[in-house]
């Protein structure tokens, strides 16, 4: 039993480090000099970050549903090519507690309606294998 708790603690730690790493600054390669006659790009002013794309948010599904939602396993629904209305309804039902689930409610609670729509737009365009 102690090993089970240790395993769960390690999984939680790895997950937390992954979440923190997602917000860590990324170090870019050194800038190359601008070509002669082209103006240098002005730095962006501080402000809110751009909304992640549906493709970026959909990667949160990869652990269970496979890369690009293409996992073909009996335990998990493939998401690639899923009709938009079906994906949106399922996610909102999970989020609102209308559809029972062990994990999906917690996952879906993290997404707004707009984010769910963006993920649905992504998955509807992914070709199933």
pLDDT at 26: 47
Cβ 93 vs Cβ 99: under 8 Å: yes
pLDDT at 116: 93
- What topology does CATH give the domain 53-129? Cytochrome Bc1 Complex; Chain D, domain 2 (1.10.760)
- For the entire predicted model, the pTM comes to 0.58
CA 43 → CA 82, 93, 95, 114, distances in Å? 40, 42, 38, 28
Residues 6+ apart with CB under 8 A from 129: 70, 72, 80
pLDDT, averaged in runs of 10, over the chain (129 residues): 56 56 50 58 65 81 83 81 94 94 90 92 88
């Amino acid at each position: 039993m102690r090993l089970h708790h240790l395993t769960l603690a390690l999984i939680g730690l790895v997950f937390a480090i992954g979440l923190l790493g997602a917000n860590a600054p990324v170090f870019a390669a050194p800038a190359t000099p601008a070509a002669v006659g082209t103006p240098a790009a002005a730095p962006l002013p501080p402000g809110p970050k751009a909304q992640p794309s549906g493709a970026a948010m959909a990667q949160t599904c990869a652990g269970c549903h496979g890369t690009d939602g293409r996992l073909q396993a009996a335990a998990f629904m493939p998401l690639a090519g899923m009709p938009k209305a079906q994906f949106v309804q399922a996610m909102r039902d999970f989020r609102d507690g209308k559809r029972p689930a062990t994990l999906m409610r917690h996952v879906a609670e993290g997404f707004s309606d707009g984010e769910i729509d963006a993920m649905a737009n992504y998955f509807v365009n992914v070709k199933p294998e």
